Chain A
Amino acid sequence: MKNEINESSEELREEISESEGNKRWIVVPGETIVTGEDFLPGEGARREGEAVIADRFGLAEVAGRMIKVIPLSGAYIPRRGNVILGRVVDVLYNGWLVDIDSASSAFVLIDESPRFINRNEMDQFMAIGDMVAAKIWSIKGRGIDLTLKGRGLGKLEEGFVFRINPSRVPRVIGREGSMITLIKEKTGCNITVGQNGWIWIKGQDIESEIKARKAVEFVADKVHVDGLTEKMEAWFQEN
Chain B
Amino acid sequence: MSSMQTSNLTRETLRRMFDKNKRFDGRGLMDVRDFQIELGVSNKAEGSARVRMGKTDVVVGVKMQTGTPYPDSPDKGNLMVSGDLLPLASPRFESGPPKFDAIELPRLMDRMIRESGMIDLKKLVITEGENVWTVIVDIYPINDDGSLIDAASIGCIAAVHNARLPGLTDKGQVDYDKKTDNPIPLSKEIMPLSFTFFKLGDKLVLNPTREEEEACEGKITFGISKWNGKHMINSCQKGWETTFKQAELEEIAKILPDKYEDAMKKLKSYLN
Contact = CB atoms under 8 A, between A and B. Distances in A.
User: Do chains A and B stick together as partners?
Assistant: yes
Given A87-B4, A161-B9, A206-B16, 5 more contacts: A99-B5, A131-B9, A158-B12, A162-B211, A213-B24
Size category of the binding interface on chain B: 20 to 34
B208 to A, nearest CB: 15
A101 B7 contact: no
Contacts of A213: 24
Chain B interface mostly = loop
In the A-B complex, the 3 residue pairs with the smallest Cβ-Cβ separation, listed nearest first, are A160-B13, A129-B8, A131-B7
A101 to B, nearest CB: 5
Given A206-B16, A206-B22, A210-B24, A99 B4 contact: yes
A104 to B, nearest CB: 13
A162 B22 contact: no
B10 A160 contact: yes
Contacts of A160: 9-10, 12-14
Contacts of B9: 130-131, 156, 158-161, 200
Interface string A30-51: 0000000000000000000000
Interface residues of A, number: 22
Contact of B2 (A101, A159, A206): A101
Interface of A: 87, 89, 99, 101, 127, 129-131, 156, 158-163, 197-198, 200, 206, 209-210, 213
B7 A161 contact: yes
A12 B96 CA distance: 39
B249 interface: no
B247 interface: no
A129 B6 CA distance: 7
A206 B7 contact: no
Contacts of B13: 159-160, 206, 209
Contacts of B1: 163
Given A160-B13, A162-B211, A87 B22 contact: no
Contact of A129 (B7, B14, B16, B17): B7
* Residue among A127, A130, A160, A197 with the highest chain B CB neighbour number at 10 A: A160
Contact of A161 (B3, B10, B17): B10
A206 B8 contact: no
